[in-house]
Structure 1
Amino acid sequence: MSQKLHRRTILQCIAAVAASTAFGCRDGGESPAPLTPSPEHFPQSVASGDPRSDSVVLWTRAVDPLRADSATRLTLQVGTDAELTQLVLELKDLEALPAHDHALKVKVANLKPRTTYYYRFIYEQDGKRYASPVGRTRTAPAQGEDVPVRFVFASCQDFIGRYYNTWQYLLQRDEDLDFVVFLGDYIYETTGDTSFQTPDEARRVRFTDTASALPQRGGQYHAAAALSNYRDIYKTLRSDRQLQRVHERYPFIVVWDDHEFSDDCWGSTATYSDGRANERSDERKRNAEQVFFEYIPLDTTQSAAGAINVDNTPRYPDTRIYRDFDYGKHLRLLLTDYRTYRPDHLIPENAYPGTVVMDNTALAEAGVAAVLTSDDYAYVDIDAPEYAQHKGVLQQVYVQLATKAGLSAEAATSQAGEHVRGKLALIYVNQVLAQVGVPPISPTDKPRGLAYAHMGKTDLFNQMGSRYIVVKQTYDLYSGWRYAKSLRASENALGDTQEAWLRETVRADNTWKVVVSSVSLTSMVWNLSDLTDIPANLQTRFYFNVDQWDGFPNKRTELLKYLRDNNVRNALFISGDIHSSHASVEGGIPTLTAPAISSGSVKEMAGSAVLAAGFPADSSVYRRVVTEMESTLRASNPGIVFTNADAHGFVVLEARANEALATFHLIPSSEVKTNYADQPEALAGKFTQKTLRVRDGALIDA
């Protein structure tokens, strides 16, 4: 029932609006208290996400320092102007609960398509009203609307020892965007892993409950495990003013990769110990997911309008964050989840290098028995009576190596019995025997087979030869055979249900079908086969990283073939994770990889690894792998049309009716430890651009 306003009420409304940005006067003469901007009550500001044509998710974290253990009761205002005088919604009695770290997500529905909205949260206590910053968001165009769609995609924003200059530059440009896609590694779960993080007092993460975290390297740093650990990381990152501002400015569409839970993870299994221990922890995985759902404004369950109860969001193993967005006529955005359902890496970190994984029968099945004929592929059954002494020596050496690596004597002995048995490759066995002065076993007349050692595995517990730096030729052979024998299960990266969803959804009618993969599809190969001044076992071609799609080459080929065979026009993959920029055509499908926002570049990481392996900066290996990385990658993958291995930045992608335009905005990685917050002009001068056109399955310089 409507009521007429009295003259005095109208005057009070005018006075209240003039005095502050408050809205909503009350009939009867009572004007609301003025609004006070309060970072103290809204320390992580506001954010929006998952925008659709009629809805969006709004987020804040609201705390009252004097009532930290109580729910914070809030009012949400949404309007069409920055001053919030033209409200479309005022939702009261919302609660930011301590059980969810006072984080609150609200789904706002019944909005108009392709419309800019402004919003804020208000906390009222003891007659005073405190306001969050005003955020801005934008809904998607209506289905079939013939308009271009413009967005940024980015990934990997390590906070420790690094500044978000890339986000600052995006804000300085004031890009007109529909949304930002964040491809994963929104956080890093460690407090200072010195292998890639450089903490300083200004940029560090501290856990309030270190006892609940996972100590690493004898307590030198910790990895998050408990809810409070993950919350401490998100709170720290979202206290950064540049990150706050970019969330206030643009809606985000977010998918996770590994560091939201644990580096190089698969399912609920971590990899810190490189196989020294079983690192599966469903509880830790669920903790990581809960905090992700608390702090990221997304709607994975198609919730009804109103506050989203995080407790109702399924968690591992029932998680589902893959989803799609329809942006008018020209864009269907499909977000995939590479981490939750995938199997283990094909080469376990604790694999015994000598173990034969394809014997002579398997080589015959694969049709390559006539290829792998040299003595390097000879093997024996170490359990045969004539090798009893050799087996004893190998087990003794295993125990020594395992205890040196940190295993207890009991565990080392047990694993020696498990691994030093059956068919073992002489290329590894004889190296071990030689080290302890035992004569080698002759390879003459021995069967041939493929072992982990042939794929680059040289140590018991190591990511090298397992997740990184594997021999391409033998890995391709083994992965292909295992893929067939396992009926594709060995590379089932997306899981059956998600893959079925992807195959169906990617056949949409939209002009562009942009598939979001947290990890890159661009094949990264180092060819050292022509270097003559290095050991013979290094004179070959290596995959740099088989934690990404290079590790599942047969599934990648199968998915790309599906797109071609089903005439899925204008399919395009966007990805991140690898901390470098790539534009390539893989199996006939264009793929773009964004650089890191701030995380160490792939060239930096490769340089450290090569130096640690004993190859100095003036060596041919360092030159080929590090100094000439871009040309090395292009020579090994003719599909690469652009690559930059040593820059941070983001990519602006515009989906048009007849083409997509991708612009890489890049800043040298050397600038990441300089704070440019007060130097906007200097920062702008550090960036360069590279623009490519995507048209008819090709990438062309613009």
Structure 2
Amino acid sequence: MSQKLHRRTILQSIVAAAATTAFGCGDDAPPVSASDRSRAYFPQSVASGEPRPDSVVLWTRAVDPEHTGDDTALTLEVSEEESFGTLVLQTEVVARAAHDHALKVKVTNLKPRTTYYYRFLYAHDGERFSTVVGRTRTAPAVGDDVPVKFAFASCQDYVGRYFNTWNRLLQLDEELDFVMFLGDYVYETTGDPAFQSTNSLRGVRFSEPEGALVQRTGIFEYYAAASLSNYRDLYKLIRTDPMLQRVHERYPFIVMWDDHEFSDDCWGAHATYEDEKRTEEQNERRRHAEQAFFEFIPIDATPTGAPQGAIDVGSEPRFPDTRIYRDFEFGKHLKLIVTDYRTYRPDHLIAEDAYPGTVVMDAPTLAALGAAPAFASEQFAYINVDEPQYAQVKGALRQVYLQLATQAGADDPQGKADMWVKGNLALAYVNPVLAQIGVASIPTDKQPRGMAYVHMGKVGLFDIRGSRYVVVKDTFDLYSQYRYATSKGASENVLGAAQEAWFKERLTAAQNTWKIIVSSVSLTPLIWDLRGKTDIPDATLRQRFTFNADGWDGFPTKRKELLQYVAANAQNALFISGDIHASYASVEENVPALTTPAISSGVVKDLAGTAVMGAGYAEGSALYRYAIAELDPTLKAGNPNIVFSNSEAHGFVVLEVRAGEALAAFHLIAGSEVNKDYSQRGESELRNRFTRQDLRVQNGKISTL
């Protein structure tokens, strides 16, 4: 999700590490100490991931505070018994200082759908210290006729916020096969006032701030992670949270990244903080982010799959050779296809530095598309500013552009003016600019008609409005189709050619009852339909708006094509996603889609409300009422495919797939509760704050229960 409209938050406040327990290791071994020093040796506890019928990846971070520069030798023990009476595996491993003492071990030759217990041991001065005992579970064997149950979640903002949602999942104590985390495991900024809280008890400080990017919003200054040390700090801090530790200790995770693991609203190695005031291609920063992810997440990202033993993080390729899209099979009924939305996708269709007046579809183009009648209004009139009679106008527009670009701090304002202030320009933008500097307007009645960026909601330079957020839907969708056709699909090649081919092969080959497709961002269109709202004074606002063009709403042509392919080639396909900090269930192009709310990141209703008020529309205004106060009814009216909508709660979803149906339970808590630490209160108090919405997915339809 987005930076200034709602740039989710990051983590870090070096507080208590989770408690650990020590265990004896036999008559001949030194006794395992129950000392609290175990916390210092294993400050991030343990985790497991990548459950398959015969293998799992186990993780810990082990560091001796007295020898922080040295590798740490450990013993890993795995057993089917919590008492470790009989060991399945006992092996020596090393947590390397080169990888911040983080360690991943792939354990193979395991039995299907079996619960295993594991612990890491460290010997020091005649004592042995242990992690807590972790619990993990392998996947059912291929073809096993058993239901599969898992939770899916996303977006865990740490700054000033508490993980009450994870606490609730622990309270439920469900027998889950795994937890699917859909992205934004960490947030890369340390306190953006546009969306992050200021609770000093849950804040983040980088150990090496000189390696970070300094960010400024008004009088506020904060950091964005850039160095490997910065990104490691994010994971080390968030994994000291007791609730998150306990969930990792209890369940294996499958994890996909979204944007904040690298940079807000990113595409490939491109950040978006500067809104194209300057180039933000940051390959080294991207690789730092990926390395920390691979070090701290129990994932196997080696090209052919790691063998038994410690996984060499150095063998997991980095950008641009990264590949973490992958698939899992859980018995007869579940094929899980995990896609990567961020790594290969192109830039947003409307650039943040796009000149609002630039005509992108001229009169001949609209005529060829049969769209000219819809653009007959004088609002779509344009001129060719390079024609001799407009020389003075062009000069005036250039001066205004140079002034605005210089004030914004853009690189090379002169070069940008040369690039943008030329050719066909819309009078809907040109005339208001001329009026502001006292130059006479240009008549519109006899001019050709065309579509410019301003007609898609772009009104300012270097601005996310009308580019990544709050885009006029109907004009944008037409532009999307035009760009898609003229670029032969490259403009919306979201998955990249290799991943898309892999995806289609896995989808069509799957024989499992359910094909669940993981997308970090939501497939459900979120539309503000303000047409006919005559109580909104500004007629230009009485249109349909796409709220978030950073997600799939920003690639509508490709989304439709992809959904139609899925519907035509797979029975019982279902998309699950996150990112938008809200709960949605809808059927798009005959394919059901479920969107989980955020674990703790600001709910979309609050974040959108801040944005609307920042644009000058007070809480009592008609625009605020439709777009924010009545957000869920507005979204349902704008997209009749929505079956369930909740834009103001945190939570997670528990999904059980069976032979004839999939049952989804949304567990929700009001967004206002995120600043309270319910781990310090009675269990019933947290339980009473949660509500539940049950849905059934069956035969391509979603129904409420």
**Normalised-by-shorter TM-score class:** over 0.9
Residue of structure 1 equivalent to 2:68 = 68
Tell me if structure 2 keeps the 8 A contact 1:54–1:109.
yes
Tell me if structure 1 keeps the 8 A contact 2:32–2:130.
no
1:551 aligns with 2:550: no
Tell me if structure 2 keeps the 8 A contact 1:36–1:129.
no
> Aligned AA for 1:146?
D
Residue of structure 2 equivalent to 1:3 = none
> Aligned AA for 2:645?
T
**After superposition, what is the alpha-carbon deviation per residue over 1:209-228, rounded to whole angstroms, capped at 9, x for unaligned?**
11110000177100000000
1:454 aligns with 2:455: yes
> Aligned AA for 2:176?
L
5 Å-filtered alignment, 1:103-182, equals 103-182=102-181
Tell me if structure 1 keeps the 8 A contact 2:23–2:130.
no
5 Å-filtered alignment, 1:597-608, equals 597-608=599-610
Rg (Cα) greater in structure: 1
Cα deviation for residue 36 of structure 1 reads 3.3
Cα deviation for residue 99 of structure 1 reads 0.9
- Taking the aligned partners of 1:255 and 1:519, their CA distance within structure 2 comes to 11
Residue of structure 2 equivalent to 1:275 = 276
Query: Which deviates further from its counterpart, 442-451 or 548-557?
Result: 442-451
Cα deviation for residue 369 of structure 1 reads 1.8
> Aligned AA for 1:34?
V
5 Å-filtered alignment, 1:621-632, equals 621-632=623-634
**After superposition, what is the alpha-carbon deviation per residue over 1:385-442, rounded to whole angstroms, capped at 9, x for unaligned?**
111100000000011111221236xx22221121101111111011100111101111
1:337 aligns with 2:340: yes
1:414 aligns with 2:415: yes
5 Å-filtered alignment, 1:213-292, equals 213-217=212-216, 220-292=221-293
* Greater RCO (Cα-Cα under 8 Å, separation 6 or more): 2
Query: What TM-score, normalized to structure 1?
Result: 0.95
- Taking the aligned partners of 1:690 and 1:371, their CA distance within structure 2 comes to 42
Residue of structure 2 equivalent to 1:12 = none
> Aligned AA for 1:539?
R
Query: What TM-score, normalized to structure 2?
Result: 0.95
Q: What are the ranges of 5 or more consecutive residues in structure 2 without an aligned counterpart?
A: 1-20
- Taking the aligned partners of 1:34 and 1:231, their CA distance within structure 2 comes to 29
RMSD (CA atoms)? 1.2
5 Å-filtered alignment, 1:679-690, equals 679=681, 680-690=683-693
Tell me if structure 1 keeps the 8 A contact 2:49–2:253.
yes
> Aligned AA for 2:139?
A
Q: Provide the secondary structure at the position in 2 that maps to 1:220.
A: strand
Residue of structure 2 equivalent to 1:7 = none
Match of 1:584 among 583, 586, 593: 586
5 Å-filtered alignment, 1:73-92, equals 73-92=73-92
Cα deviation for residue 33 of structure 1 reads 2.9
5 Å-filtered alignment, 1:217-616, equals 217=216, 220-301=221-302, 302-407=305-410, 411-507=412-508, 508-532=510-534, 533-566=536-569, 568-616=570-618
Q: Identity over the aligned pairs, expressed in percent?
A: 59
Residue of structure 1 equivalent to 2:46 = 46
Cα deviation for residue 444 of structure 1 reads 2.7
Tell me if structure 1 keeps the 8 A contact 2:325–2:338.
yes
Cα deviation for residue 200 of structure 1 reads 2.1
Cα deviation for residue 24 of structure 1 reads 4.4
Cα deviation for residue 461 of structure 1 reads 0.9
1:205 aligns with 2:204: yes
Tell me if structure 2 keeps the 8 A contact 1:166–1:648.
yes
- Taking the aligned partners of 2:537 and 2:612, their CA distance within structure 1 comes to 13
Q: Provide the secondary structure at the position in 1 that maps to 2:680.
A: coil
> Aligned AA for 2:466?
G
Residue of structure 1 equivalent to 2:9 = none
Q: Indicate how the Cα distance of structure 1 residues 699 and 20 shifts in structure 2: closer, same or farther if over 3 A, else same.
A: closer
- Taking the aligned partners of 2:369 and 2:537, their CA distance within structure 1 comes to 31
Query: Which deviates further from its counterpart, 539-548 or 354-363?
Result: 354-363
> Aligned AA for 1:406?
G
**After superposition, what is the alpha-carbon deviation per residue over 1:492-524, rounded to whole angstroms, capped at 9, x for unaligned?**
000011011111111210000000000000000
Cα deviation for residue 20 of structure 1 reads 7.3
Tell me if structure 1 keeps the 8 A contact 2:73–2:95.
yes
Q: Indicate how the Cα distance of structure 1 residues 571 and 467 shifts in structure 2: closer, same or farther if over 3 A, else same.
A: same
Tell me if structure 1 keeps the 8 A contact 2:112–2:140.
yes
1:652 aligns with 2:654: yes
Tell me if structure 1 keeps the 8 A contact 2:22–2:129.
no
- Taking the aligned partners of 2:513 and 2:375, their CA distance within structure 1 comes to 47
> Aligned AA for 1:77?
E
Q: Indicate how the Cα distance of structure 1 residues 137 and 359 shifts in structure 2: closer, same or farther if over 3 A, else same.
A: same
Cα deviation for residue 23 of structure 1 reads 3.1
Q: Provide the secondary structure at the position in 2 that maps to 1:244.
A: helix
Q: Provide the secondary structure at the position in 1 that maps to 2:537.
A: coil
Residue of structure 1 equivalent to 2:671 = 669
**After superposition, what is the alpha-carbon deviation per residue over 1:304-354, rounded to whole angstroms, capped at 9, x for unaligned?**
110001000001000001000000000000100000000000000000000
Cα deviation for residue 564 of structure 1 reads 2.2
Cα deviation for residue 39 of structure 1 reads 1.0
Cα deviation for residue 64 of structure 1 reads 0.2
- Taking the aligned partners of 2:121 and 2:210, their CA distance within structure 1 comes to 36
- Taking the aligned partners of 2:95 and 2:370, their CA distance within structure 1 comes to 62
Q: Provide the secondary structure at the position in 2 that maps to 1:167.
A: helix
Tell me if structure 2 keeps the 8 A contact 1:161–1:673.
yes
Residue of structure 2 equivalent to 1:186 = 185
> Aligned AA for 2:231?
Y
- Taking the aligned partners of 2:457 and 2:441, their CA distance within structure 1 comes to 21
Tell me if structure 2 keeps the 8 A contact 1:23–1:85.
no
Q: Provide the secondary structure at the position in 2 that maps to 1:685.
A: helix
> Aligned AA for 2:185?
Y
Tell me if structure 1 keeps the 8 A contact 2:22–2:132.
no
Cα deviation for residue 534 of structure 1 reads 2.5
> Aligned AA for 1:428?
Y
Q: Provide the secondary structure at the position in 2 that maps to 1:677.
A: helix
**After superposition, what is the alpha-carbon deviation per residue over 1:226-253, rounded to whole angstroms, capped at 9, x for unaligned?**
0000011111100101100000000000
- Taking the aligned partners of 2:483 and 2:232, their CA distance within structure 1 comes to 40
Tell me if structure 1 keeps the 8 A contact 2:72–2:94.
yes
Tell me if structure 2 keeps the 8 A contact 1:403–1:412.
yes
Match of 2:32 among 31, 34, 41: 34
**After superposition, what is the alpha-carbon deviation per residue over 1:13-56, rounded to whole angstroms, capped at 9, x for unaligned?**
xxxxxx9732344xxxx443334361110000000000000000
Q: Provide the secondary structure at the position in 1 that maps to 2:91.
A: strand
Q: Provide the secondary structure at the position in 2 that maps to 1:457.
A: coil
- Taking the aligned partners of 1:20 and 1:432, their CA distance within structure 2 comes to 71
Q: Provide the secondary structure at the position in 1 that maps to 2:415.
A: helix
> Aligned AA for 2:359?
V
- Taking the aligned partners of 1:564 and 1:153, their CA distance within structure 2 comes to 23
**After superposition, what is the alpha-carbon deviation per residue over 1:457-499, rounded to whole angstroms, capped at 9, x for unaligned?**
0000110100000000100110001101100110000001101
Q: Provide the secondary structure at the position in 1 that maps to 2:300.
A: coil
Cα deviation for residue 201 of structure 1 reads 2.0
Cα deviation for residue 300 of structure 1 reads 2.1
